[in-house]
Amino acid sequence: MRALRAPLRLRALRRVLRGQQGLAATEFGLIAPVFILLVMGMFDIGHMTYARVVFDGAVERAAREASLETGDTDEADAMVLRIVNPVLPGVELETERTSYFDFADIARPEQFTDANGNDVCDNGEAYIDENGSEEWEADVGVSGNGGANDVVVYTVRATYEPLFKVPFMPEAWVDRSLSASAVKKNQPFGDQPAPATTARTCVD
């Protein structure tokens, strides 16, 4: 009888081990997708954070370079692309520069008489054409890098495809966008012209 007990015990142990292996496979099948999702999600968030830091730094550096008398805006834009592209392969950039006479003028509307109190120049209200556009502007800024002593708002918008594709979330794979701005005052390499003071009226 003792000779039969060992094989019986061995067979019972094998059944237990097979049951545990099946349980482990089931547990892995349940846990693996969640684990992979979390890991890829962390990679994706980490990459976005790093890209934001690199992008902001590149825009600040380009704005500073373009504020010099010898600054080249095309080269500054190209520099942003060179810095950002290794982090965001295939990134596309859109740049915009708006110059102002002083910091206080940023996003300020041209001076006007708001007779009807609607915050818009219309119905024959008088205004000062400060930027020389011959029409009232809600932002007194002028497109471009300006001149000596001008304040320039440099804005760059980046569009890129996510580097890490988070599993089971195809809606997160679409192109993403980042935007960064830097404000710099151009070097005093010459005399800064005063804003125009031509009086006009709004016809609408």
Quick one: what percent of the chain has pLDDT higher than 90?
68
Kindly report, residue by residue over 144-163, the tens digit of the pLDDT.
999 999 999 999 999 999 88
Q: Are 184 and 63 in contact (CB under 8 A)?
A: yes
What would the two tokens of residue 199 be? 């009086």
Q: CA 106, CA 151: separation in Å to the nearest integer?
A: 8
What would the two tokens of residue 9 be? 């015990």
Kindly report, residue by residue over 111-129, the tens digit of the pLDDT.
999 999 999 999 999 999 9
CA-based nearest residue to 68, from 194, 187, 195: 187
* Total structural domains within the chain: 1
CB atoms within 10 A of CB 106: 16
Kindly report, residue by residue over 43-68, the tens digit of the pLDDT.
889 999 999 999 999 999 999 999 99
Q: Are 194 and 173 in contact (CB under 8 A)?
A: no
Query: Phi first, then psi: what are they for 60, rounded to 5°?
Result: -60, -45
Domain that holds residue 81: 2-201
> Does pLDDT of 1 surpass 50?
no
Helix, strand, coil percentages in the chain from 3-state DSSP, rounded to 5 = 40, 20, 40
Q: CA 85, CA 159: separation in Å to the nearest integer?
A: 11
What is the distance in angstroms between the CA of the first residue and the CA of the last residue of the chain? 110
Q: Are 66 and 72 in contact (CB under 8 A)?
A: yes
Strand partners, 181: 155
Q: Are 185 and 150 in contact (CB under 8 A)?
A: yes
pLDDT of 41:
83
Q: Are 17 and 147 in contact (CB under 8 A)?
A: no
